[in-house]
């Protein structure tokens, strides 16, 4: 039995290579079944994200070369090309790697939470494919448990480290109840899309997306149950907006001081939280001079992100220690399970010998034999049979010079302890 974690990630391979080694959702089940059929892998799971593609295996022979060859062949890469950027972790190191990945300690953004969900999906797909067995199943459950402990007991995931999430976190500080807030998002690019999703997750029910083209805004609005409008219609919605976040490619400001002043009058000076993520700026800097407006620039957010990254790095050491504890506990349980199998086999053997001697004694009793003699014979026969195999093996080991094994046997049978200790 051996565990292997094998793959590539953002540290070892370029985007071009990672794209070629990625597995699509539609490929997963078939790929897992092929992997178990064409290699020595008895159990397998595949984690494939934009930053990594990894295989987690319980394998009969801990030789990774045939797995690497399979991976290269599956994605039509040369083996040398893949070998140059791949890493292989085995047994305890494989367990540690999986737990570090799940806890966000191996991510591009330290402590990012999405990876745990992605790993849970990988586990679910492998179960669907029938390639998860008892060993890998136990490892995944231990991994999830350790990652949860890291999330619960450290601050590694508490502070936002993306501009989009930092913006939403600042909004949450100003408006304690985001459920009753309305958001106006200006633009429909990648950053605004992330902002919109974060706001939606935080409970903002009313979101308006304003963009130069209605088509782009409508696509994002449909995803979140929001309203799509043109930039020209923005003044009608500004006064109802508690949160305004802008990120466009415009070369000129889209929102001026005058428009915000008029909106504030309509709002009766109810506070507005505004974030300008665009470079050049979408919101005139003078807007920040207005009472009841909290205006943040992208530089302000970067400062927040930088401080939060420092905080996460400080928490990373505690997280590593928790991962170490998780690895130790899992490996200990694994060793205990190995002992259980041996003990089960030993008990079955002893019970078979017991039954044989008992049947012999019962036959002698039925034939009118002396009970005292029969009991003595039963005890003697059972003792001799139980001691026979260990005695033969110890003599053999002694003849071979295996003094270490004899010392272990002495410890196993507690022969160093006096009668009073036993």
Does the annotation place 118 within a ligand binding site? yes
Does the annotation place 183 within a ligand binding site? no
- pLDDT of 401 reads 86
pLDDT tens column, 303-343: 877 777 788 888 889 999 999 999 999 999 988 887 777 77
pLDDT tens column, 124-144: 999 999 999 999 999 999 999
Which CATH architecture group holds 2-158?
Answer: 2-Layer Sandwich (3.30)
Does the annotation place 217 within a ligand binding site? no
Section 12-16 average pLDDT = 89
- pLDDT of 299 reads 84
Using alpha carbons only, give the angle 152, 157, 159 rounded to the nearest 5 degrees. Answer: 125
- pLDDT of 404 reads 83
CATH no. for 163-303? 3.40.50.720
Q: Which residues pair with 206 in a beta bridge?
A: 182
For residues 9 and 269, what is the distance between their CA atoms, to the nearest angstrom? 50
Q: Is the pLDDT of residue 220 over 70?
A: yes
| Residue with token string 């009058």 | 265
Distances 98 to 21, 29, 250, 403 between C-alpha atoms, Å: 19, 21, 44, 39
Q: Is the pLDDT of residue 280 over 60?
A: yes
pLDDT tens column, 149-172: 999 999 887 766 778 888 888 888
Q: Is the pLDDT of residue 421 over 70?
A: no
Nearest to 194, CA basis, from 114, 282, 118: 114
Does the annotation place 113 within a ligand binding site? yes
- pLDDT of 410 reads 80
Is there a catalytic annotation at residue 50? yes
Which region holds residue 100: left if phi is over 0, alpha if psi is between -120 and 50, else beta? Answer: alpha
Q: Is the pLDDT of residue 77 over 90?
A: yes
For residues 116 and 140, what is the distance between their CA atoms, to the nearest angstrom? 11
C-alpha dihedral (315, 316, 321, 322), degrees to nearest 10:
80
Nearest to 154, CA basis, from 308, 315, 320: 315
Average the pLDDT over each of 12-16, 110-114, 120-124, 381-385 and give the range with the smallest value.
110-114
Which region holds residue 13: left if phi is over 0, alpha if psi is between -120 and 50, else beta? Answer: beta
Tell me the DSSP string of 22-88.
Answer: ---TTTHHHHHHHHHHHSSEEEEEEEE-SSEEEEEEEESS---HHHHHHHHHHTT--HHHHHHH-EE
Q: Is the pLDDT of residue 420 over 70?
A: no
Using alpha carbons only, give the angle 324, 339, 132 rounded to the nearest 5 degrees. Answer: 65
**Active-site residue (options: 1, 15, 50, 375):** 50
Q: What's the burial of 247, exposed, middle or buried (CB within 10 Å: 0-12/13-18/19+)?
A: buried
Does the annotation place 31 within a ligand binding site? no
CA 307 to chain CA centroid, Å, is: 25
For residues 304 and 318, what is the distance between their CA atoms, to the nearest angstrom? 22
Does the annotation place 27 within a ligand binding site? no
The answer to whether the peptide bond before residue 183 is cis (omega within 30 degrees of 0) is no
CA-based torsion, 4, 93, 332, 404: positive or negative: positive
Average the pLDDT over each of 103-107, 223-227, 281-285, 393-397 and give the range with the smallest value.
393-397
Which region holds residue 417: left if phi is over 0, alpha if psi is between -120 and 50, else beta? Answer: beta
Average the pLDDT over each of 11-15, 210-214, 320-324, 394-398 and give the range with the smallest value.
394-398
Q: Is the pLDDT of residue 400 over 70?
A: yes
Distances 51 to 9, 15, 209, 379 between C-alpha atoms, Å: 5, 8, 30, 67
- pLDDT of 402 reads 84
Of the chain, the percentage scoring pLDDT greater than 70 comes to: 97
Cβ neighbors of 35 (< 8 A, separation 6 or more) are 41, 44, 46, 55, 57, 67, 70, 131
- pLDDT of 408 reads 82
Domain layout of the chain by residue ranges: 2-158, 163-303, 335-412
- pLDDT of 51 reads 84
2-158 shares its CATH topology with 163-303? no
């Amino acid at each position: 039995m051996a565990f292997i974690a094998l793959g590539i990630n953002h540290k070892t391979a370029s985007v071009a290579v990672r794209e070629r080694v990625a597995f699509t959702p539609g490929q997963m089940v078939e790929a897992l079944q092929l992997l178990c059929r064409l290699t020595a892998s008895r159990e397998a799971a595949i984690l494939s994200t934009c930053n990594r593609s990894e295989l987690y295996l319980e394998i009969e022979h801990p030789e990774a070369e045939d797995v690497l060859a399979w991976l290269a062949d599956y994605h039509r890469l040369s083996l040398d090309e893949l070998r140059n950027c791949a890493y292989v972790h085995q047994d305890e190191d494989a367990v540690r790697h999986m737990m570090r990945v799940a806890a966000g300690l191996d991510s591009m953004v330290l402590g990012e939470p999405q990876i745990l969900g992605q790993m849970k999906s990988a586990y679910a797909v492998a179960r669907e494919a029938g390639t998860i067995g008892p060993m890998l199943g136990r490892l995944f459950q231990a991994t999830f448990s350790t990652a949860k402990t890291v999330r619960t007991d450290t601050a590694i995931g508490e502070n936002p480290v993306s501009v989009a999430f930092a913006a939403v976190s600042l909004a949450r500080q100003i408006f304690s109840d985001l459920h009753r807030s309305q958001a106006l998002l200006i633009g429909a690019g990648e950053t605004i899309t992330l902002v919109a999703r974060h706001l939606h997750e935080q409970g903002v029910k009313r979101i308006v997306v304003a963009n130069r083209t209605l088509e782009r805004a409508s696509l994002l609005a449909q995803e979140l149950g929001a309203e799509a409008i043109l930039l020209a219609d923005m003044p009608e919605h500004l006064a109802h907006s508690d949160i305004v976040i802008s990120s466009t490619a415009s070369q000129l400001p889209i929102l001026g001081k005058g428009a915000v002043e008029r909106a504030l009058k309509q709002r009766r000076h109810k506070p507005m939280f505004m974030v300008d993520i665009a470079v050049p700026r979408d919101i005139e800097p003078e807007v920040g001079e207005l009472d009841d407006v909290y205006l943040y620039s992208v530089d302000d957010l970067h400062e927040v992100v930088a401080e939060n990254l420092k905080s996460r790095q400080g928490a990373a050491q505690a997280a590593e220690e928790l991962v170490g504890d998780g690895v130790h506990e899992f490996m200990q349980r694994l060793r205990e399970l190995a002992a259980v199998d041996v003990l089960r086999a030993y008990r079955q053997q002893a019970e078979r010998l017991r039954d044989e001697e008992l049947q012999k004694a019962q036959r002698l009793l039925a034939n009118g034999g002396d009970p005292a003699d029969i009991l003595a014979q039963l005890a003697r026969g059972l003792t001799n049979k139980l001691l026979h195999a260990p005695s033969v093996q110890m003599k053999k080991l002694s003849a071979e010079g295996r003094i270490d094994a004899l010392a272990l046997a002495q410890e196993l049978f507690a022969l160093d302890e006096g009668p009073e200790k036993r």
